[in-house]
Structure 1
Amino acid sequence: MIKRELYMSRIRPFIGTDLVKVMTGIRRCGKSVMLDLIKEELKESGVPETQFIAFNFEDMRNANLCTAQTLHCEVVNRASEISGKVYLFFDEIQEVTDWEKCINSLRVEMDCDIYITGSNARLLSGELATVLGGRYVEFTIYPFSYAEFMELYKDIFPDVTDSVVFQKYLTLGGMPYLANLHFVEEPSRQYLTDVYNSVVLNDVVKRNKIRDIDLLTRIVTYVIGNIGTTFAATSITKFLKNERRTVATDTVLNYIQYCVSAYLFYQVKRQDIQGKQILSTNEKYYMADHGLREAVFGGNMRDINLVLENIVYMELLRRGYAITVGKIGAKEIDFICQKQEQKIYVQVTYLLASEETIQREFGIYESVRDNFPKYVVSMDEFDFSRNGIKHKNIREFLLMKEWN
């Protein structure tokens, strides 16, 4: 089990406090493992396992506890047999009706330390904010980074080269369970397809009571096919019209937002660098895991430029950066990334195969006058750094501890 120290270092300061610890993210990204890691840390600090009360609401054995009242009674009953602080773990809490009332009541009435996971951002953030106010802290968990994937892959296949590992990562992505399948292609593809279907059916269709599943499928397929490409909802409306499906632009936007709330997609807004304002049209979308894209859509190697962008975007997000697309006139910088006082610019391309490509990728920075780090990231092994702009092979870039 990988320790996932990136997340544990963020969670650790809040262990033992009265704030509710909330871990969100797409299904199967490793949220349950994070609960196990927290339990292990508590046990190492001297807390006996008898102080733990845990529920996984995807387990049918807990189906009778999926209302606030029944769950509350069960927890209070179990806690009555425990002396001292009680540690409560609730996995996929969104399956419990009115769960936030139960959590708040437990927080108020007993000496407890609460950890919950969930797979729907809108459900969690909205209801938590309403009932808990500022009494919770949220952590988004993502599928495995390239570094985590490589650690697991080389544990199974110790003699492979880094380039072979990265080729596997390009097609399989970072869903943690793939290690249990030894990264074998066909079982992995089947598993990823099942994960995708579970996200769409449970966290999008069921959660939002969508009836026109065919329309949703078409919209999702369009977004998946155009990850990393600037487009407006009206583009999808026109696309659907050509397929003889008339749909309002608001419906398209709603369906995409449902997928964003389920952590299937991430929306990236554009920033006018010269005007220093966020633009409200033509956003970009990236997938939580590019392996899901390969499983249900295919073409990761054909669309490798977009997939590399997706991988870099998710790594930036994983490390806590706020990200926008930079617009300079008719040109775009792939990512402007900020975290506190830190700022970096990142341009991603497949290969710097010609002087024209080199001029385009490096030349985009000519209008950016500040002194923050500027990167061009590609699959090239040769270092093309110039004029203070750093060029990095993507594997090296993803493994760097700091980008400043």
Structure 2
Amino acid sequence: MYTFLMKLIEREFYLEKLKSVTGTPDIKVITGVRRSGKSKLMDAFIEWIKETDNNANIIHINYNLFEFDSIKTASALNSYVEERYLSKKNNFLLIDEVQLCSDFEKVINSFHASEKYDIYITGSNAFLLSSDLATLFTGRVFQVLVFPFSFYEYQKYFATSNIEEAFDSFVKEGGMAGSFVYKSPEEKYSYIKDVFNTLITRDIVQKYKIKNELLLNKLNDFMLDNISSEVSVRKIADTLTSNQEKTNDKTIGSYLNYLCNAYAFYKVRRYDIRGKKYLASQDKYYLADHSFHYAILGTKNMDYGRVYENMVCIELLRRGYEVYTGVLYKKEIDFVAIKQSEKIYIQVSDDISSPETFEREVSPLLSIKDAYPKVLIARTRHEKYLHEGISIINIADFLLNKE
């Protein structure tokens, strides 16, 4: 038997979330972009249950495996699970790729109503959307959103002690762990490109019954080429129309929502810092993993500043912040990150070694007069230091949470 050389690391951040809700009546839903490690997370959680609960009865169904092909209807799934229920045990029900069972929501709601099972499910990103969960399930849902590998996890996976070299590699390779087993950059990017194309052609097209797949692909290329840039639905529609692809605002707006619903992109709204209100104009969109950009569009003319901005945005979302792009006196602040009573103003840059660039980056932060922390993240390769109250942090240290 051939064993793949894929190395596994414990994803403590997500595992701790699952542990914290063990035994609650919620339906726990593990979601995230395709191939971000949802099934492996569930496997690790099952091992933790086995190690910590001697009274556990684990019912695990993985619809990726052919052995479960005969129970892909609601009634068959119901019979399979009920036959394995043990009344004097702690019954854990864990289902991978639940959307492959027809009418899955009916049987999951029935299991939840019976109050006999601690329920955990994963599903295809396009078929188990955040926006759908409240409609699909009658019980309370606890969502665990799984991102591709962070830089911390990447560095842990490759066990390298040279942080700056590891960061250089991470910038180019990204966090799609399935690509790590391939040796050459071409093979890695081929894998990543296939993942992204499957996300669009199989998941989104199938879910929303899209007829104009060419338009979706052209929109996708436009968005990949404009990560970290302000865009509007009208601007995109006008651009694509000028390129002989006739479309309109409504269609583009719908397609953008589909891409965000599938966790391919994350939309960041604009926030007026002085007026303390959200702005309805142009938004920014960030990729779930920056490697998609390279895999599909190539690595020529790399704009490291925009890639770094994308990396910081995803890291903030991973850490549970609400993220906005800030506007103050017509000056742009890359991110306003909010978590409960905490607020942080953040600028992201590639190289701040020249006085002109440094001044340009700190100027918007210095114009903010409230007492919340202000941070400039850049590739400094130095330890954190302060400039007029602004923390200057090396991006590798920020991503490792060492700042």
Same fold (TM over 0.5): yes
Residue identity opposite 2:108 in structure 1: I
Match of 1:385, SS state, is: strand
Percentage of matched positions with identical amino acids = 35
Deviation at 1:110, TM superposition (A): 5.6
Residue identity opposite 2:148 in structure 1: P
| Aligned counterparts of 1:338 and 1:252: Cα–Cα separation in 2 | 29
| Aligned counterparts of 1:343 and 1:121: Cα–Cα separation in 2 | 32
Would the aligned equivalents of 2:345 and 2:374 in 1 still touch at CA under 8 Å?
yes
Map of 2:350 onto structure 1 = 350
Distance 1:225 1:320, change over 3 A: same
Would the aligned equivalents of 1:100 and 1:127 in 2 still touch at CA under 8 Å?
no
Match of 2:14, SS state, is: helix
Deviation at 1:7, TM superposition (A): 1.5
Map of 2:53 onto structure 1 = 46
Distance 1:127 1:74, change over 3 A: farther
Would the aligned equivalents of 1:170 and 1:300 in 2 still touch at CA under 8 Å?
no
Residue identity opposite 1:130 in structure 2: T
Residue identity opposite 1:44 in structure 2: E
Residue identity opposite 2:14 in structure 1: Y
Deviation at 1:279, TM superposition (A): 1.0
The CA deviation string for residues 125-173 of structure 1, in whole angstroms up to 9 with x for no partner, is: 444313534522111111111010011112xxx4x62222111111111
The CA deviation string for residues 80-132 of structure 1, in whole angstroms up to 9 with x for no partner, is: 6x852321111122233321111111122362111111233674444431353
Would the aligned equivalents of 2:91 and 2:117 in 1 still touch at CA under 8 Å?
yes
Gaps of 5+ in 2: 1-7
Deviation at 1:178, TM superposition (A): 3.0
Distance 1:12 1:301, change over 3 A: farther
Is 1:139 aligned to 2:144, yes or no? yes
| Aligned counterparts of 1:64 and 1:306: Cα–Cα separation in 2 | 48
Alignment of 1:177-196 (within 5 A): 177-181=178-182, 184-196=184-196
Match of 1:188, SS state, is: helix
Alignment of 1:166-245 (within 5 A): 166-181=167-182, 184-245=184-245
| Aligned counterparts of 2:226 and 2:72: Cα–Cα separation in 1 | 38
Map of 2:259 onto structure 1 = 259
The CA deviation string for residues 354-402 of structure 1, in whole angstroms up to 9 with x for no partner, is: 222111100111221111111111112256631010111110111125x
The CA deviation string for residues 176-198 of structure 1, in whole angstroms up to 9 with x for no partner, is: 223333x5423211211111122
Moved more, 353-362 or 62-71: 62-71
Map of 2:278 onto structure 1 = 278
Residue identity opposite 1:33 in structure 2: K
The CA deviation string for residues 243-281 of structure 1, in whole angstroms up to 9 with x for no partner, is: 111101110011111011111000000001111111122
Map of 1:129 onto structure 2 = 134
Residue identity opposite 1:211 in structure 2: K
Would the aligned equivalents of 2:109 and 2:139 in 1 still touch at CA under 8 Å?
no
The CA deviation string for residues 51-100 of structure 1, in whole angstroms up to 9 with x for no partner, is: 222222333443443332332222223336x8523211111222333211
Deviation at 1:309, TM superposition (A): 0.5
Would the aligned equivalents of 2:109 and 2:138 in 1 still touch at CA under 8 Å?
no
| Aligned counterparts of 2:64 and 2:195: Cα–Cα separation in 1 | 14
Question: Could you tell me which of 46, 59, 78 is aligned with 1:72?
Answer: 78
Would the aligned equivalents of 1:94 and 1:124 in 2 still touch at CA under 8 Å?
no
Map of 1:88 onto structure 2 = 93
| Aligned counterparts of 1:103 and 1:399: Cα–Cα separation in 2 | 38
Distance 1:126 1:165, change over 3 A: closer
| Aligned counterparts of 2:301 and 2:66: Cα–Cα separation in 1 | 39
Residue identity opposite 2:353 in structure 1: A
Map of 2:11 onto structure 1 = 4
| Aligned counterparts of 1:27 and 1:47: Cα–Cα separation in 2 | 33
Map of 2:379 onto structure 1 = 379
Residue identity opposite 1:212 in structure 2: N
Residue identity opposite 2:248 in structure 1: A
| Aligned counterparts of 2:187 and 2:296: Cα–Cα separation in 1 | 14
Would the aligned equivalents of 2:127 and 2:207 in 1 still touch at CA under 8 Å?
no
Residue identity opposite 1:270 in structure 2: R
Deviation at 1:9, TM superposition (A): 2.2
Corresponding pairs, count: 395
Is 1:17 aligned to 2:32, yes or no? no
Gaps of 5+ in 1: none
Deviation at 1:45, TM superposition (A): 0.8
| Aligned counterparts of 2:252 and 2:99: Cα–Cα separation in 1 | 25
Deviation at 1:203, TM superposition (A): 2.1
